Chain A
Amino acid sequence: MKEDGIYSELSSIRSLMERSSKFISLSGLSGVMAGVYALGGAFFAQRLLRSQESRLDTSNEYSLNAGIVPQLTLIAIVVLFLSITTCLILTLRQSRKKGEPSWHPGSKRLLTNLAIPLLTGGIFTTILLLRGEYSLIIPACLIFYGLALVSGSHYTFSDVKWLGLFEILLGLICAFIPGYGLMFWTIGFGILHIFYGFIMHFKYKQ
């Protein structure tokens, strides 16, 4: 056996082990877009909160008027929907370009590992919403989302784990200092996503 042959053999083995167990077509740009949607959502939410403050003149105290909760929830759902759709479209396009099958054991495992903490978090935040525990909703979103990313990171780029850890950290701090939920939401879902999206995009030359 020639040396070149062995080298190519070893590198093909390594790449197969990675390609078979991980889903590496995750699109970095979709992270950037999710961040942009989140910033847009935060902007509208901020405007809603302002208008509520001026009407009720409770500017000193942060107390959420239950009247605008449905509107805030709607904004969050729209942002979530747009982010997921963009992510699916861009990721499918990416996997087609790379020639990686989009539905294989790696992507299935990535999805189930993301879904378990995400669905738990979704149900939990709905319960918080119904019980009127508004101040804990944003920390819960951040923490569960971070946990989902950490558990999913074993089946895709390992950088995702760091994003998840940052989201968890932000969520915990946010739970500690109430009243700044929107700011943490903007950092966690907006700025971090844009930042990480660009890193992934350029690191993996997509």
Chain B
Amino acid sequence: MKISLEQFDKAFENRLRLQIMSVLVANESYDFNSLKELLAATDGNLASHLKALEKEEYITVIKSFVGRKPNTQYVVSKSGRDAFLKHLQALENLIKNQKK
């Protein structure tokens, strides 16, 4: 099964990162707290993986304030969406190859 392994994106090796990307691809934008609740992740864990995705420029961070509370929205970037779809395709290919 070596064929498709190189198509796997290193950035998505972590499960939580892949989950974050799935949510962001399906939505226009998502805020930190809703992500935390949905993925049942801890603050620190979620923040560090978001930072990693931001470093890859797969997501964009939009910081603003609602009243006095900071409100951070995450939006998937064009390259992030492409990378995610490519990764999914690689997963599907792997399954198809195994069926043969």
Interface residue ranges, A against B (CB under 8 Å): 1, 3, 6-7, 9-10, 12-13, 16-21, 101, 104-105
Shortest CB-to-CB span from A22 to chain B, Å, is 9
Q: Tell me the bound Cα distance from A105 to B65 in angstroms.
A: 17
Please, which residue of chain A has its CB at the minimum distance from the CB of B30?
Answer: A105
Q: Tell me the bound Cα distance from A6 to B5 in angstroms.
A: 12
Asked if B38 and A20 sit within 8 Å, CB to CB, the answer is: yes
Interface residues of B in 17-69 (CB under 8 A from A): 18-19, 22-23, 25-27, 30-31, 34, 37-39
- Chosen A-B contacts, 5 in total, with CB atoms closer than 8 Å, are A1-B94, A9-B91, A13-B19, A19-B38, A20-B26
Interface residue ranges, B against A (CB under 8 Å): 15, 18-19, 22-23, 25-27, 30-31, 34, 37-39, 88, 91-92, 94-95, 98
Q: Is the interface of B mostly helix, strand, loop or mixed?
A: helix
Shortest CB-to-CB span from A96 to chain B, Å, is 14
Q: Is the interface of A mostly helix, strand, loop or mixed?
A: helix
Q: Tell me the bound Cα distance from A100 to B38 in angstroms.
A: 8
Asked if B31 and A105 sit within 8 Å, CB to CB, the answer is: yes
Residue from B25, B26, B31, B94 within 8 A of A6 (CB atoms)? B94
Residue from B15, B26, B39 within 8 A of A21 (CB atoms)? B26
Given contacts A105-B30, A105-B34, 16 further A-B contacts (CB under 8 A): A1-B94, A3-B95, A3-B98, A7-B95, A9-B15, A10-B95, A13-B18, A13-B22, A17-B22, A19-B38, A20-B27, A20-B38, A21-B26, A101-B34, A104-B34, A105-B31
- Top 9 nearest A-B pairs (CB, nearest first) are A17-B26, A20-B23, A13-B22, A16-B22, A21-B26, A21-B27, A104-B34, A17-B22, A101-B37
